[in-house]
Structure 1
Amino acid sequence: MAANTSVKVPAGTTVTAPNGTIVTINGSSDTVITQAGAVVTVPASATGPANNVVTTGQASGSSLSTSPLTVTSLAGSATTNLQPVDGTGAAAIFWGGGHLAMDSSGNIILSDRGHLREVTQSGVVTTLTTQGSWDGVAIDPSGNVYGSGDVQLIASSPLTLGASLQEFSASGTYQQLFANWETSGTSSSVGFGGLVMDSKGALFLADEVNNRIVKFNVGSNTWAVFAGSGTSGNQDGVGTAATFTLSATPDLAIDSNDNLYVRSLDTVREIAPDGTVTTVASQLQTAGTIAVDKSGNIYAAGVQVIYRVASDGSVVSYPFTNTTDFITSLVTDASGNLYAGTRGIGAQIFKITFPND
């Protein structure tokens, strides 16, 4: 496309910008702002009305932009991942690969090789506790932190491993919750997975080993399977009629309406509060992390790429070339910024701002 031109296109159209950003339009009446030189591709299968606009004119409103991301490294080393060391900025060392959560003050709380750590907006990294073994992380409005992944040996013959949830209170007290709620004789990852809390105080876990979503009621100390049959698959449905295929250390996200989001193979799945599972977007790079912002935009990561999925299913694919390390977790703040944790040659926490935020 030349500068200052516009075209109308149907759903299914892709727009590839010169900087490598790709928009797949799946909704209607959308506007895509792109750069001169962009390539617009309308597949033969796109037979609906041409009611979306692609333009190289001035960006405005909440249009889907193909401008590049603004990315800064808050903390961590680009060249080192070792036993955790506290510090500021690049002086802090992460093992990497853990889950991220955001507290009400804008601090990032993360699991890091079993430790629970905090990163401020100024990049100051401190270890909150080394008690327990932290994987998925969730925070309630009072600042109490909950975690999955606390696995202990129950018996050696036959081998029996038990998983518990855990809590690190705002006052600094550690305790186990739901002791040995799940057991296994074969997997040391029993009880691992992303963890979130809904507006009513219930915890939800993406149960990696059993390909299901589990709900925990902290007040009554009870738990139940919320969605997923336990059989590997990618079938939509209600509750245990649905199936998931969860990758190693799967992530879980929750929006302001208590809808859950999870990656299952190459798809983004939404789980409504009544347990109804639907597919929001598909054909992404294979399974990975996920997050959602207050506006309902869903974020997922691939290899050096970040996907932003709008509520109508339109997908913007942004190149993420600030590191060759893998993005292992994502979380958003109240202002719509995205944060990414990485691990590879190094391990870092990045802050990401989108062009139309």
Structure 2
Amino acid sequence: GAEFGVTVEQTLTGYYNPMSSICAPDGTLYIANAGYHSIMKRTPSGVQTVFAGGNSTVYGYVNGTGTAARFRLPSFVVMDGSGNIFLTDQQNHRIRKITPSGAVTTFAGSGNIGSTNGTGTAASFHYPMGLAFDASGNLYVADAYNNKIRKITPSGVVSDYAGSGVQGTQDGAAGTARFYQPRSIYVDSKGDMYVADRLNNLLRKVSGGMVTTVAGNGTTGFVDGQGSAARFNGMGDVVVKEGNIYSVDIHNHALRYISPAGNVKTISTSGQFTTPVNICEGPGGKFYITENTTNRVKRVDVRRAYSISPALPDGLIFDESTGRISGRLGSVRASQSYTVTARNNMGSSTATVTFSVAAGSGPNASWGQNHILETIPRRAYGSLSTMEGKPVDSVNRRIQYFDGLGRPMQHVEWQGSPLKKDVVQYIEYDGFGREAIKYLPYADDTSNNGSFKVDGKLKQQYYYKNTGSITGKTTGWDAHVKKTDRPYAVTVFENSPLNRVKEQGSPGMVWQPAANRTPGTGRTVVTDHGTNVTIPSAEAVRLWKVDHNASGTPTGATGTTDYVAGRLYKTVVKDENWTSGRAGTVEEYKDFGDRVVLKRIWESESKKLETYYVYDDFGDLCYVVPPAVTQDKFTEAAADPVFDKYIYAYRYDGRRRLKEKKVPGRGWEHIVYNNNDQPVLTQDSVQRTKPLPEWSYTKYDAFGRVTETGIFRRNLSRGQLQDTLNLEQADASRALWETRGYNALSYDNKSYPRGTSTKTVLTVNYYDDYGFRATNVLPASSGLNNTAMVKGLLTGT
């Protein structure tokens, strides 16, 4: 079969404890000659000179040009797009920069050990090691002894990128993940970062704000295998080529390959390398591998087991160990042929593969983003496959995109507008993970394929802004939409860990938060918090107390006193039309048990509507006193018209279950429960006055689903029926629920009430199968066939 092959083509010498090298596009090699505290330069013709630093065992910290500069253990070098060299001056705890002419300056780091973020020399590091640039020019640093990855913007602003700073192997969100002296980093063409986590003996990956482990399990060893089954001994450095990873394993003295699927394979032979600490790519696909203890840099040719030509388009990955192509193309492509070559020590063979991507009528979700695709048929279809490629008038599709933390980023309604444009709901979060700004959905005039909109926020502004342009793009293209420069609702939170909403705005200029409320802006819903007061008296809160008879049964309530100031939490909501004073505000008061005591609505500065909530000694709601009640006392006596016409009343049994309730204009409703706390019998005042009193009954199955309802006739009070039910259910032979065997016609009628002469059945519900049917049912006219896979579903009533 096909096999890798590694050949050392050239060995370069003249170094002392070299730590890394980087190859320029023209083939010039720059070597971090750590033992001599210098940067060496070797031209493609083989001329080697000191590029910067003293090139001796004398170290220091001096900015200057060429050999006038001084370093202390320069460890890793990297080159930006302009040819500038950046290096980690490890024991000076700084990041240094060398221009193509050799001028050395300090890019970041104060020189003091620390982990302070800041700009330039205001920041601090602790033995920084690996470096890598992304496509935007941001520089990333493996801050080894801080157990972090740091980010430096082109302007020199240093921040934490990944790692909590605590030693460990924890994966997860970048800010909470843990490393153990990460040695080097590599950023691929997709922006994903690979971290050689040296003392953890792991290869880690940072993508979408999440850290995962690619290979290794945190223990030392020398084992090939899949993912966590592999072992390393000093993860040194990596190069990533379209998902194929080449890694140097320092103390195993080996070059190892990690496939896109995470399978680790040693591809060098014994004795080819000694303490390889760094790998970089040179012209022609060659690698330069730096050996620390032997003071050498080796140019290496790796014969891939499989190769492909030309290169695959973005979205597809070629596995150089198996020849397998994986991935997904995100756009239409014309037919293209590719040649796959397999190689081993005996020779090579080739095969050709041809494919194309045609336009489809369905959505093209962005597979580079976490997402859920929801399909909603608008016509009858027999299977999901028959819905593929159907137009939007036949099948609706919604795509929800999520970030690395599982939070929604965009909701896309595929071709959801009248003009069949994608309707997009853009979502963003503030630094505390709150959705402080809620954006209106918009129709995308340039895309209708359901893809993730990378410029969704800007396009939302284009859609609602008056006709003109933003950054050269036409705005206001949909004349049917009301235009506004503020197509979003802003939420202002108070500055506390409680995250309580202080102001809630709405879309439109008028409804935006502002310093002052004017007819044209600042019209938000404002929420204030405080406690109750007694002065002025109009704002006092009446203290209602439940009255009881000698047996402890509630008989009414009295509210002749007020709460002492500061004993209730007060929340005031001021509507959009409020400017000052009380009018347009709603007050809510809660006690220390978080129970609502009063809701007060101010219609004007002096007119108010108050609803009081009265609780018993157990904290259960006993009465609701509406605004129409102006008296400070009422009773449940029949002679009290206030209670009958206005009061809501509730009574509870010893298990704090609602046993009786009354609403204004109706008599008392009674409720009887079984031992599962399910209401079995209910009775209203009309049923209670019939010659033979009636109760509405409900039966259940073992899963709490209603199986039967009807009318039960028994001349007993609620208490007598509850006692009867309690005594019956104390008998183990009695059942709490109904049972129906598989495909049986009826239930066993073993739960209360059972007597057929005292009850009238009104409804019966069946679940889980169709065995209750006495005769066959005609098939549906739509052509759909029923299925026997109905466990847990309602199948008949």
- Per the normalisation by structure 1, the TM-score is 0.59
CA distance in 2, matches of 1:97, 1:14: 26
1:287 Cα deviation (Å)? 3.4
Q: What's the CA shift string for 1:79-123, capped at 9, x where partnerless?
A: 244332211110011112421112111222111122111122221
CA distance 1:13–1:224, change in 2 (3 Å): closer
8 Å Cα contact 1:147/1:166 also seen in 2: yes
1:291 corresponds to = 280
1:96 aligns with 2:73: yes
CA distance in 1, matches of 2:226, 2:61: 42
Q: 1:254 aligns with which of 234, 240, 243?
A: 240
2:148 corresponds to = 164
1:13 Cα deviation (Å)? 10
- Per the normalisation by structure 2, the TM-score is 0.28
CA distance in 1, matches of 2:6, 2:142: 39
1:175 corresponds to = 159
Q: What's the CA shift string for 1:152-179, capped at 9, x where partnerless?
A: 5xxxxxxxxxx22111101221111224
1:132 aligns with 2:119: no
CA distance in 2, matches of 1:15, 1:169: 38
8 Å Cα contact 2:6/2:303 also seen in 1: no
2:262 corresponds to = 275
Name whichever structure is richer in strand by fraction.
1
CA distance in 2, matches of 1:312, 1:243: 24
Matches within 5 A, 1:162-241: 163-180=147-164, 182-183=166-167, 190-217=180-207, 220-241=208-229
Which amino acid in 1 is paired with 2:71?
A: F
**Identical counterparts, % of pairs:** 30
8 Å Cα contact 1:254/1:292 also seen in 2: no
Q: 2:297 aligns with which of 283, 294, 306?
A: 306
1:68 Cα deviation (Å)? 8.5
CA distance in 2, matches of 1:12, 1:311: 5
8 Å Cα contact 1:148/1:165 also seen in 2: yes
Q: What's the CA shift string for 1:128-155, capped at 9, x where partnerless?
A: 0102323211111221101112645xxx
Structure 1 residue runs of 5 or longer lacking an equivalent are 1-10, 20-66, 153-162, 314-357
The aligned length equals 237
Q: Look at both structures and tell me which one has the larger radius of gyration over its CA atoms.
A: 2
8 Å Cα contact 2:201/2:234 also seen in 1: yes
Matches within 5 A, 1:28-177: 69-113=46-90, 114-130=93-109, 131-133=123-125, 134-149=128-143, 151-152=145-146, 163-177=147-161
Structure 2 residue runs of 5 or longer lacking an equivalent are 14-43, 110-122, 169-178, 305-797
8 Å Cα contact 1:246/1:287 also seen in 2: no
Q: Could you say what secondary structure the match of 1:209 adopts?
A: helix
TM-align CA RMSD: 3.1
Q: Could you say what secondary structure the match of 1:224 adopts?
A: strand
CA distance in 2, matches of 1:121, 1:16: 26
CA distance 1:215–1:181, change in 2 (3 Å): farther
Moved more, 102-111 or 173-182: 173-182
Which amino acid in 2 is paired with 1:108?
A: I
8 Å Cα contact 1:80/1:93 also seen in 2: no
CA distance 1:14–1:213, change in 2 (3 Å): closer
8 Å Cα contact 1:102/1:109 also seen in 2: yes
1:158 corresponds to = none
CA distance 1:150–1:78, change in 2 (3 Å): closer
8 Å Cα contact 1:104/1:141 also seen in 2: no
1:206 Cα deviation (Å)? 0.7
Q: Which has the higher contact order (CA 8 A, sep 6+)?
A: 1
8 Å Cα contact 1:132/1:166 also seen in 2: no
Which amino acid in 1 is paired with 2:300?
A: V
Q: Could you say what secondary structure the match of 1:94 adopts?
A: coil
8 Å Cα contact 1:74/1:122 also seen in 2: no
